[in-house]
Structure 1
């Protein structure tokens, strides 16, 4: 560590040790100096490490060398925890002797919570409690509805089934939220930040699903999507046949796969909701399909003029793609019925996304089911339109007579289209459809709204998202969890609350550290002690 370059008498006298009577004493001097230098170096290194440790006790510092920065608290999490109005306490009930896998989860959780505390401005607290050490603590875990679970643990070279705890409760004022078990690090930061955001919010935003025209029910046909959506929003249905207008407490309206025409009176109510700045998600299926019977017919929706007024149209067609999912089919082979998997181009796999827009930039793969193309060529004045996702370079559009048989033999020449847009985001000031059309009348033959009361222009910040697929989040089609991310991202963007979008689809890509020279291994070993 230390080098001596000055010419001293000692170095001179030891230049010929065999001839010098003082050679032995010179060697002793050099050895003593070398030993002293080594001692000083070790002491300096120890002092530096102690200083770093002291700083780390007051400032949250972590060296994160992973590709996805999975050990670094995201900007969204920092923002959420730093805006707490009141103290939030997290009690983690964790057994002491866990399996190596769960122990890694426990260690990751501890580091994660330390990050929240560092950015919580003195309002985030957490503690680890071992319920197995005291009956009172075990009873406390039960009171918070945190159950034990069984796991295999090695004990004296024997594999034993052991009751363990690893769960936590979030306490904010008189509110409580529980994560009953934590058995993986995947999505852990997103789940924690979602809970903090939800439990500390003064009010929950409400998402309305239009109903009354054959739409799938969020509570019956989209249970998986509704369950995930409900973690951040209140979910309700909106029946405009029974309402004078879209209720004021609806923060976003979703129009998903109607099967019959929406009456003009209800179109007026949706139009005026938009004119007040209300955001709408349009998920249209323009062709009704039945894969079992291989039938496909156009929907009688009559929405083209209405939606074109706002700047988009979902075309009455079916899009197919060579990059597609598989379906199971039964085929008879002699006396036997065989089940085979074959590629089905009408179920495109989408992996081409707009990487600048919040809704789509962090998505990797979406599966679509009988999608229709989106016409984005004529947005209205003052409306900005951004295509969000596209088919591959080997795609096709089918119109008129459809052949959706699973055994259909496609030719490569049929896939002559590339990057067909299947979704788009619109933002700006929209013009009322009824500014140029007759206002619908009620049962008394009087206009539902006076001409002078019609709102003709929306605020410049009004938002819409259109997707040419009303099937992608239905339970009977939902096979790709990322499809739900697309729904959540859409709703978040519509209500202008995009903090969690990047965190939700954050990639956890583990990377091994590069090999280090042997000369550095001892240094890193000592650093790890601290």
Structure 2
């Protein structure tokens, strides 16, 4: 069956109700469109509009966003100086992506600074290093987005973060699968509890992420959003990305690292910095992960005052185990080994006492 919603002369149609998990979101989104006279614009910007090839790896994200926003791909090089004021007013949120192709020009960086300082919102996905996925070799990132983010207190570091809390990756081939945790693909559920961006999100995944160095800056409120577990470490200068050659960390090198942060200026403009360019891409989004929901919540909070935040992620299809210390694991292990025989022993003693 289908659903038709109407108000005055406007109609919204859900042709077939087949996605029951997201039915609440789809209906609420349709109602939102009925009540809006003009849809807010969300722009996606990357250094090269052809940087990802023919297939857009952001297709799922854009498809959901288009239910309540006007979604466009924006080329900053086409904006002339006389069009700056129009540009500052036109877009509710800009999403910046590092596609690893070339740098933003100084004029484009300055234009983005003006946009953010005017009280508008920006989301940045960028790496501290550039990885060739075929050879697993590392070079320095060439996107120069630190010229934007570091100005406001968040520097994307030249390193790669590893963690014992890792995503399982298939290292098999076309005929067989071999799943193993890969420390460079970090799984984290350590969110800022005061932020509403993580409503009903169980965990997020960071494929090949760098750390963020946060530095207090005048008139900027800096808030860490996502951190790793304390059993995390980094590689820098010398990198070994192959799963078979990753050196074991030294105990003193294990600590917590910031992977996502919020920067809020005194004009109300907010900037989210995520230190992984692959965070929003379809081929890296894991089953049960909340990457897509986090981005949708952030854009919704920025562009429509949170009208639909958290609705999409209320259905939880995956329940990850909590990150336990070695001592906690030992307690659970010995309880599982000893508790059942102990209960039977107590039961046997009680039976013997009753017979006497």
Q: 1:471 aligns with which of 265, 274, 278?
A: 278
1:316 aligns with 2:158: yes
Q: 1:202 aligns with which of 37, 56, 67?
A: 37
1:328 aligns with 2:202: no
Which position in structure 1 is the counterpart of 2:314? 506
SS at match of 1:186: helix
SS at match of 1:379: coil
Which position in structure 1 is the counterpart of 2:204? 366
Which position in structure 1 is the counterpart of 2:10? 175
Structure 1 residues 383-402: aligned runs within 5 Å: 383-402=220-239
Q: 2:77 aligns with which of 219, 223, 241?
A: 241
Q: Do the aligned partners of 2:21 and 2:315 also contact (CA within 8 Å) in 1?
A: no
Q: Displacement of 1:497 after TM fit?
A: 1.4
CA distance in 2 between partners of 1:325 and 1:367 (Å) = 7
Q: Displacement of 1:194 after TM fit?
A: 1.4
Higher relative contact order (CA 8 A, sep 6+): 2
Structure 1 residues 121-520: aligned runs within 5 Å: 166-183=1-18, 185-213=20-48, 216=52, 220-244=56-80, 245=84, 246=87, 248-259=89-100, 260-330=102-172, 339-376=177-214, 378-411=215-248, 413=250, 416-429=253-266, 459=267, 461-480=268-287, 482-495=290-303, 497-507=305-315
Q: Do the aligned partners of 2:297 and 2:310 also contact (CA within 8 Å) in 1?
A: no
CA distance in 1 between partners of 2:197 and 2:65 (Å) = 15
Cα RMSD for the two superposed structures = 2.5
Q: Displacement of 1:414 after TM fit?
A: 6.4
CA distance in 2 between partners of 1:328 and 1:502 (Å) = 30
CA distance in 2 between partners of 1:417 and 1:191 (Å) = 44
Cα offsets for 1:190-213 (capped at 9, x unmatched): 221111112221111101111334
CA distance in 1 between partners of 2:6 and 2:53 (Å) = 33
Q: Displacement of 1:505 after TM fit?
A: 2.6
Q: Displacement of 1:276 after TM fit?
A: 1.9
Equivalenced residue count is: 308
Q: Displacement of 1:401 after TM fit?
A: 2.0
Q: Displacement of 1:231 after TM fit?
A: 1.5
Cα pair distance change 1:169/1:190, threshold 3 Å: same
CA distance in 2 between partners of 1:306 and 1:191 (Å) = 36
Larger Rg: 1
Structure 1 residue runs of 4+, over 6 Å off? none
Q: Displacement of 1:227 after TM fit?
A: 0.9
SS at match of 2:91: coil
Q: Do the aligned partners of 1:359 and 1:490 also contact (CA within 8 Å) in 2?
A: yes
Q: State the TM-score, normalizing by the size of structure 1.
A: 0.54
Q: Which runs of 5+ in 2 are unaligned?
A: 318-356
Cα offsets for 1:321-346 (capped at 9, x unmatched): 11111222248xxxxx8542221111
Cα offsets for 1:410-436 (capped at 9, x unmatched): 42646943331111111122xxxxxxx
Q: State the TM-score, normalizing by the size of structure 2.
A: 0.79
Q: Do the aligned partners of 1:322 and 1:415 also contact (CA within 8 Å) in 2?
A: no
Cα pair distance change 1:303/1:212, threshold 3 Å: closer
Q: Do the aligned partners of 2:158 and 2:236 also contact (CA within 8 Å) in 1?
A: yes
CA distance in 2 between partners of 1:325 and 1:228 (Å) = 25
Cα offsets for 1:116-155 (capped at 9, x unmatched): xxxxxxxxxxxxxxxxxxxxxxxxxxxxxxxxxxxxxxxx
Cα pair distance change 1:226/1:346, threshold 3 Å: same
